[in-house]
């Protein structure tokens, strides 16, 4: 299949076909054939090909090459395109006789006649540029009806007066994938495992919003010795396994899980139950879990105007602190890390125990241990 020069090949093909069509005409002057934009000026008459639109080919979109199929290009389908051209007759500068239009009109009809008789170009066809091939199917050049409104918009965009033009559609134009499919090694040793279940199936996860240290009750059917529970990674998580975070499985008769780390980013996640047998996947199911920020402890003097260090889980740079349900001024809050937040208590903070809560990553956490504020 062709590379990124295929459009240049189609340009060359259309120009050469048009040039050959008017070569034997008794015209003086004989129109030239060009490829370029509509606003290009010329004193001499000419016929111009203008590529104004590139669109996907619906029939071959994401389709494997029919002459090779999955054995060579699996997962890397070629880019299948249709090219929309405008063939325009430019009369050139006005002469004494004022008859330039008749020359370009004659040439335009000669080109249309030639394209009508050679609308399908297969491999080795006269005029077909080598940059177009090899072809998946013959190159087809067909007239594309364009209404006056469409033509008017094209010429208005070019800031030029309307000229006699004919639309043409060229298809199929194919650009090969930059990398070819590389087949894996053959099966060295066939292995067959008959499993007692169809794989894990989630039935419930309680609660569905949790912080580090919370116990999660998992109700999953079809759990096998090779089943593991993996939490999806988030872009702002710390460095760790690319495949996800393995959850902590607590011992006991019930299946209980815990989050593996306190510095994971807050927000909704996907929790997978994955079963593998001798390294091969044997089933997976997923359920949603939201990680919420939480306050796990504090240090410092809890007095109005003083700075208190909150020990946290799953904090974030946009963390907000609530004391007794009242939001603290963001200017008084410093997000040190996912596990530490410093907050300057407002001067009007009342004395006594106050519940502390966080909101981070647009997720609100439950109130933590009371902060006992002194006088």
Residue 21 is inside which H or E element, if any? helix 6-22
Residue 351: predicted pLDDT:
87
Domain co-membership, 21 together with 167: yes
**If the chain, 375 residues long, is cut into consecutive pieces of 10 residues, what is the mean pLDDT of each piece?**
83 93 84 90 87 91 62 66 94 67 86 92 88 86 92 90 92 81 73 74 94 95 90 94 93 93 95 87 92 91 90 95 92 95 92 92 86 82
Is 260 part of any domain?
yes
Is 184 part of any domain?
no
Is 336 part of any domain?
yes
Domain co-membership, 31 together with 59: yes
Residue 2: predicted pLDDT:
66
Residue 55: predicted pLDDT:
94
Number of structural domains in the chain: 3
148 close to 167: Cβ distance less than 8 angstroms: no
Residue 245: predicted pLDDT:
96
Domain co-membership, 37 together with 71: yes
Residue 310: predicted pLDDT:
93
Collapsing DSSP to helix, strand or coil, 11 comes out as helix
How far is CA 15 from each of CA 50, 115, 244, rounded to the nearest angstrom?
11, 11, 56
Q: Is the pTM of this model over 0.85?
A: no
Residue 83: predicted pLDDT:
95
Domain co-membership, 303 together with 287: no
Task: Indicate if the alpha-carbon torsion angle 148, 151, 157, 158 is positive or negative.
Answer: negative
Bond preceding residue 283 cis, omega within 30 of 0: no
CA angle 280, 284, 286 (to 5 degrees): 150
Q: Which of 300, 242, 231, 298 is nearest to 266 (CA)?
A: 231
| Domain hosting residue 341, numbered range | 294-373
Domain co-membership, 281 together with 338: no
Task: Name residues whose C-beta falls within 8 Å of residue 128's C-beta, 6 or more positions apart in sequence.
Answer: 13, 121, 139
């Amino acid at each position: 299949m062709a590379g990124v020069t295929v459009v240049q090949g189609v340009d060359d093909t259309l120009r050469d076909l048009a040039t050959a069509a008017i070569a034997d005409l008794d015209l003086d002057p004989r129109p030239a054939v060009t490829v370029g934009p509509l606003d290009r000026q010329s004193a001499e008459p000419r016929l111009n090909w203008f590529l104004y639109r590139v669109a996907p080919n619906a029939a071959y979109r994401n389709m494997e090459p029919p002459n090779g199929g999955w054995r060579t290009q699996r997962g890397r389908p070629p880019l299948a395109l249709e090219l929309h051209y405008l063939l325009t007759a430019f009369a050139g500068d006005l002469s004494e006789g004022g008859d330039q239009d008749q020359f370009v009109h004659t040439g335009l009809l000669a080109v249309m006649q030639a394209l009508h008789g050679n609308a399908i170009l297969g491999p080795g066809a006269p005029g077909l540029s080598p940059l177009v091939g090899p072809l998946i199917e013959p190159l087809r050049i067909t007239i594309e009806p364009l209404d006056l409104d469409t033509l008017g918009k094209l010429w208005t965009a070019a800031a030029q007066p309307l000229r006699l033009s004919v639309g043409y559609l060229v298809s199929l134009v194919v650009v090969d994938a930059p990398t070819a499919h590389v087949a894996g090694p053959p099966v060295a040793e066939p292995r067959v495992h008959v499993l007692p279940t169809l794989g894990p199936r989630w039935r419930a996860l309680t609660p569905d919003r949790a912080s580090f240290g919370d116990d999660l009750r998992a109700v999953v059917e079809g759990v096998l010795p090779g089943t593991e529970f993996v939490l999806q990674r988030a872009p702002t998580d710390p460095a760790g396994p690319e495949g996800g975070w393995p959850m902590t499985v607590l011992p006991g008769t019930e299946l209980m899980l815990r989050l593996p780390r306190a510095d994971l980013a807050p927000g909704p996640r996907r929790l997978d139950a994955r079963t593998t047998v001798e390294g091969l996947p044997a089933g997976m199911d997923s359920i949603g879990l939201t990680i919420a920020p939480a306050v796990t402890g504090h240090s410092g003097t809890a007095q109005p105007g003083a700075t208190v260090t909150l020990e946290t889980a799953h904090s974030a740079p946009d963390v907000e602190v609530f004391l007794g349900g009242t939001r603290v001024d963001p200017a008084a809050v410093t997000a040190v890390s996912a596990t530490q937040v410093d907050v300057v208590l407002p001067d009007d903070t009342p004395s006594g125990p106050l519940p502390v809560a966080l909101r981070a990553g647009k997720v609100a956490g439950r109130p933590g241990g009371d902060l006992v504020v002194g006088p």
